[in-house]
Structure 1
Amino acid sequence: MEVLPLLIEAATALLTACGLAYMVLALWGARAYVRSVRKHSAPADAAPGVTLLKPLKGVDPRMYAGLASHCRQQYAGPVELVFGVHSLTDPAVAEVERLRTEFPEAAIKLVECTQRLGTSGKVSNLVQMLAAAQYEHVVINDSDILVSPHYLTGVMRYFADPRVGMVTAPYLGRTGLGGRERTVWARLEALGISTDFMPGVLTARKLEGGIRFGLGSTLAMSRTALTKAGGMEALVEYLADDYELGKRIAAAGFTVELCGEVVETTVPGYGLKDFWDHQMRWARSTRDSRKLGYVGLGVTYCVPWAILTVIASGGALWSISLLVFSLLARIAVALTVGVGILRDEQVLRDLWLLPVRDLFGLLFWFWSFAGDTVVWRGEEFRLKDGKITRAT
């Protein structure tokens, strides 16, 4: 018997075993997170004033529903919403005026951010919006984020501990109701958020004794912590500004907490190219931000490695048993995090796509090392050490 086929078979079997070990760690991380959320479920004694910062550019189909959900907060303290656009000719301005009409009691400000301070237009706008913020605590999230009426209450209770500098939130991706919006690529993206990305966040949280990064779904922080971390101005050239901001606040001596409030983001009706571009931007951004951890990400895909083991072994019974065990472990993680924690019913709908999503995930991981370009809002950029420059 030739040595090379045996080595390949042994290598894929070992990688499958590593992937199974990761599944156990993911379940462990999920359990630890649930216990932490229960620990912080008591009502807070105080409700400090909060400024919600919402940078806007253009209008997405479900953007207004997300903006309106922030106006329906059942929060005991004062709240203001500060929206920022690069130009008052932006179509998003009409949506802000619509909010003012529907919620006349809401404290709403609109800031025209005329300066371009760096490559990231979003961060550039945030720098200018901060000047209009009234309160010590600010919450930043994307324009399409949909939240519950108890969102601010669930986020702000963590600041009762003066050591907390940032609170971030888990999220799920909501696909369209049907038709062109619910493409297979959109379903794969949403499935990946709930069953791949979020389990990874919970695993990192457990292994590292907490999280030291932020998620763009929610970046709640005190302005004191933000200042000590170097301010928003230092991030105008960064692609993953959410990750970098959490990292800097943690480095400044504060803790970063992952709260129990799950929010929703909208997954567009992607075609293959848009899906590929978005996933590669995500993969290369993570690769650039968490270099050592990202190298190990490849071994977490137990199902693809188990499929390759079946092929390498010529369909041996033991390899088929390993594949079945890998599928069961993968489904256990998907249901525990996606359904049990995130309450994402789409996971049940698309559970049969899980092996396909993992095969794509492994492909994205391999291909992410093949270059340093990313596509963001239709423009191509080069990524180096977290910073982006326009590709020439």
Structure 2
Amino acid sequence: MIRLVLSSVGLIWYSAIWAIGLVGCSAARKRYRNRPRSPLASAAASSVPGVSILRPLKGLDTNLYENLESTFLQEYPNYEIILSVADENDQALPIARELTSKYPHVKCRIIVGEENVGTNPKVNNLVRPYREAANDILWVIDSNVTVHPGTLARSVDALVGSPTAPAKKRIALVHHVPFAVVTESRIGSRIEEAFLNTNHAKMYIAINTLAVDSCVMGKSNLYRRSDLERVIGSLKPPSPNTPQSGPRGLPAFGRFLAEDNMIGAALWHELGDRHELSCDVANNLVGNMTLMDYIRRRARWIRVRKHMVLAATLVEPFTESVVLSIICASSLNYLLDISPWISIFAHFAVWIYVDLDVYASIAGHPLPAAIRWEFAAPWVARELLALPIFLFAVFGSEVTWRGRAYTVLRNGEVARAEKTLSWFQRLRKPKNYDPLDTSL
């Protein structure tokens, strides 16, 4: 009886995860295979809302010049660009100055110097541009992202909505699904590409299509400063009897490592508003990433999510293809006496077909034949590494980001961590023994 129940539950769970994946695949087809030009692109400047584009910079990210230049080329009549660096010696500063000289007709200024409002260095770098921006609508884009010239116009369309559209929940945030672009063929870079452009995109699009809760990545986000000034990062609806205390707006999120996700959650839960995925992607330039870089990156965000949404994080391994294939094979073998090898082969054949279909949707073209086999090996590696990385990550709380060590605390807040030694380093470290007196 126990095995019958477990097999039945396993098959129901397997079917549910497949249903969510197919929602993501179908939504990707509808949303990304047709990207019309927005009428705002050719409208008069006085007739469209102004937008301030904020780009925090730190160091020489891959293709930094082209990434930043893509914001100077936006087909939108009313926007400004603010590039910010934490200090005068930042290597990104000469590139920022070169671009402002190249495009003198674009409103652009550079802010040097951060304001320390919390542990998150990105938020500290953004606070001054956030406060000094001329417009209420802010578009925050990471420095390793490049975007299509029509992205801003289509994103503003999604944020403000059409006056003739049927009434629905107010949109407080527009975001873009990341699409990995590999510039250096390292194993870690290729695995990151296989992850972001298939399974991650599929589940990210599905969760946002079903809209059961907030799910936001901060590569490229559009929101109103006036909305953010109404939240404090408590992630709960405000109580009329209890006044909200603490900083508001962007400074309230300096205590989080995943400030992008927390901003989305605050707008969702505190204001009761919703998010919208634009039909554009954030082209995430993946540089020289080793295998260990990839493992540390995945582990970092698992450890952050563990402290934010524990139940959802613990369920993650049971949504991955390898564990699901075992659940399916065991269930069908007991219930219908189907060979496990047949079930596993059919599972992976359909799984990779759906993943490649999602890739074609968000890329705008199928996977090129020239890199098909080069893509297949990292895809297999990603699927096989998912469970070991999860098990490694879930039992720790320390992460490294931008060369700094942090300890993840309750609700995804972080504190700077002291440098700790591995067990091997501790074993080799000299002990402070008293010298032995060998004299007779």
Which interval holds the TM-score relative to the shorter structure? 0.7 to 0.9
The alignment status of 1:117 with 2:117, answered yes or no, reads: yes
Please report the TM-score for the alignment, with normalisation by the length of structure 2: 0.78
Once the two structures are TM-superposed, the CA of residue 353 in structure 1 deviates from its matched residue by 3.2
Give the match's secondary structure for 1:249: helix
CA pair 11-371 structure 1, distance change in 2 beyond 3 A:
farther
* Correspondence for 1:322: 343
1:378 to 403, 407, 411: 403
Once the two structures are TM-superposed, the CA of residue 171 in structure 1 deviates from its matched residue by 1.5
Partners of 1:130 and 1:20 lie apart in 2 by: 45
Partners of 2:34 and 2:364 lie apart in 1 by: 20
State the aligned residue count: 379
2:25 to 30, 34, 59: 30
Give the match's secondary structure for 1:350: helix
Please report the TM-score for the alignment, with normalisation by the length of structure 1: 0.87
* Correspondence for 2:57: 56
CA pair 47-361 structure 1, distance change in 2 beyond 3 A:
farther
* Correspondence for 1:233: 251
CA pair 38-63 structure 1, distance change in 2 beyond 3 A:
closer
Partners of 1:18 and 1:329 lie apart in 2 by: 17
Greater shift, 45-54 or 261-270, is seen at 45-54
* Correspondence for 2:202: 199
Q: Which runs of 5+ in 1 are unaligned?
A: 1-5
* Correspondence for 1:219: 221
Q: Any residues of structure 2 matched to 1:138-177 within 5 Å, and which?
A: 138-161=138-161, 163-176=170-183
Partners of 2:408 and 2:230 lie apart in 1 by: 26
The answer to whether the 8 Å contact 1:380/1:391 transfers is: yes
Partners of 1:13 and 1:374 lie apart in 2 by: 39
The amino acid that maps onto 2:356 is L
Once the two structures are TM-superposed, the CA of residue 253 in structure 1 deviates from its matched residue by 2.2
Once the two structures are TM-superposed, the CA of residue 17 in structure 1 deviates from its matched residue by 7.1
Q: Which runs of 5+ in 2 are unaligned?
A: 163-169, 232-247, 419-440
The answer to whether the 8 Å contact 1:303/1:326 transfers is: no
The answer to whether the 8 Å contact 1:225/1:254 transfers is: no
The answer to whether the 8 Å contact 1:304/1:358 transfers is: no
* Correspondence for 2:82: 82
Partners of 2:10 and 2:320 lie apart in 1 by: 8
* Correspondence for 1:3: none
What whole-Å deviation, never above 9, does each CA across 1:113-138 have from its counterpart, x for those lacking one? Answer: 24322111110121111122001111
Once the two structures are TM-superposed, the CA of residue 330 in structure 1 deviates from its matched residue by 1.3
* Correspondence for 1:367: 392
* Correspondence for 2:187: 184
Partners of 1:37 and 1:62 lie apart in 2 by: 24
Partners of 1:278 and 1:13 lie apart in 2 by: 36
2:261 to 238, 243, 248: 243
CA pair 115-136 structure 1, distance change in 2 beyond 3 A:
closer
The alignment status of 1:282 with 2:304, answered yes or no, reads: no
Aligned-residue RMSD, C-alpha: 3.0
Larger radius of gyration: 2
Q: Any residues of structure 2 matched to 1:92-131 within 5 Å, and which?
A: 92-131=92-131
Partners of 2:201 and 2:389 lie apart in 1 by: 17
